[in-house]
């Protein structure tokens, strides 16, 4: 049977793509960020996951304000990347895993999640940059299943609902009749706000508390409403919903193998965590 080997949560700021394209990994501004991924890449080489389920939020490439599903799951053989307006290099298509996609879709619907099934799906920087950070230049070596969560158009799904989504994904993988190793990736955040009177807002204290609680007490974060999370983490900081969903997929005892926190990256608090599923 399939099993989830662990979860990785990381930021996906578009400026990361420009830094990679310009080979700025050793630049003093970027080095603390990029160095954080070295232990995670070593772990990935050891556990050799076959498939990555990527929980992310779309930024207008695949969905827009006129049609914004709460939850969407990709079921394509390939996922094409395009630039949604940041001037980022476009990467080659990502290979999908349709068998796992339909396993997730059927399980989630059975567990009463109303999802949008996408047999064609574009993926943006929130999907592509974490893959490139974790497997530099080797993204085709891991199959992918994109799961998109709305963090753009209100009403947003609650933190509790996103955590339950992750739990359902974990159960779906455990029930998948395949001898495959799966890693779950949650992307976005941490605290940041790009517009309005609080543009540039970062809440280091809340970020560090969230990272500390996530492995052992993830329900701590579910007590907050979406408006609470906007107040605490910023308008775009609600992307931590993807972190909660990724943590929810780990159904066993969870241990933190590595974490990194660095500010600022393009006015964003950048977080990275590697959690292993016992």
**In this predicted model, what pLDDT tens digit does every residue of 47-78 receive, in sequence order?**
999 999 999 999 888 888 898 999 999 999 99
For residue 255, which phi and psi values (nearest 5 degrees)? -125, 145
pLDDT higher than threshold 90 for residue 114: yes
CA distance 201 to 142: 35
Q: Which two tokens stand for residue 145?
A: 């299943």
Catalytic residues: 125, 192
How much is the pLDDT for 117?
Answer: 97
**Percent of the chain whose predicted confidence (pLDDT) is above 90:** 78
Distance CA 55, CA 44 (A): 18
C-alpha 177/C-alpha 99 separation (Å) is 10
Tens of pLDDT, residues 139-185: 567 999 999 999 999 999 999 999 999 999 999 999 999 999 999 99
What architecture (CATH level 2) is domain 3-277? 3-Layer(aba) Sandwich (3.40)
The domain ranges of the chain are 3-277
């Amino acid at each position: 049977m399939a099993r989830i080997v662990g979860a990785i949560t990381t930021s996906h700021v578009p400026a990361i793509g420009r830094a990679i394209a310009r080979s700025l990994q050793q630049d003093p501004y970027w080095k603390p960020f990029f160095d954080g991924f070295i232990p995670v890449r070593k772990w990935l080489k050891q556990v050799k996951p076959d498939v990555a389920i990527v929980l992310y939020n779309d930024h207008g490439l695949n969905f827009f304000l006129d049609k914004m599903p709460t939850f969407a799951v990709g079921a394509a053989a390939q996922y094409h990347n395009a630039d949604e307006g940041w001037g980022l290099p476009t990467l080659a298509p990502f290979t999908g895993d349709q068998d796992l996609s339909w396993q997730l879709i059927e399980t989630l619907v059975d567990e009463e999640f109303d999802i949008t099934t996408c047999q064609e799906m574009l993926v943006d920087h929130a999907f592509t940059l974490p893959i490139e950070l974790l497997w530099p230049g080797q993204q085709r070596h891991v199959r992918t299943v994109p799961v998109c969560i709305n963090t753009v158009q209100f009403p947003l799904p609650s933190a509790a609902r996103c955590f339950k989504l992750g739990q359902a994904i974990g159960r779906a993988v455990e029930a998948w009749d395949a001898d495959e190793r799966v890693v779950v990736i949650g992307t976005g955040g941490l605290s940041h706000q790009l517009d309005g009177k609080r543009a540039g807002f970062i809440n280091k204290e809340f970020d560090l508390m969230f990272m500390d609680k996530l492995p052992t007490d993830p329900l701590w974060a579910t007590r907050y409403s979406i408006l609470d999370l906007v107040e605490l983490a910023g308008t775009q900081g609600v992307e931590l919903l993807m972190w909660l969903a990724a943590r929810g997929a780990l159904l066993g005892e969870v241990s933190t193998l590595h974490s990194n926190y660095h500010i600022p990256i393009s006015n964003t608090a950048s977080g990275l965590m590697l959690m292993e599923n016992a």
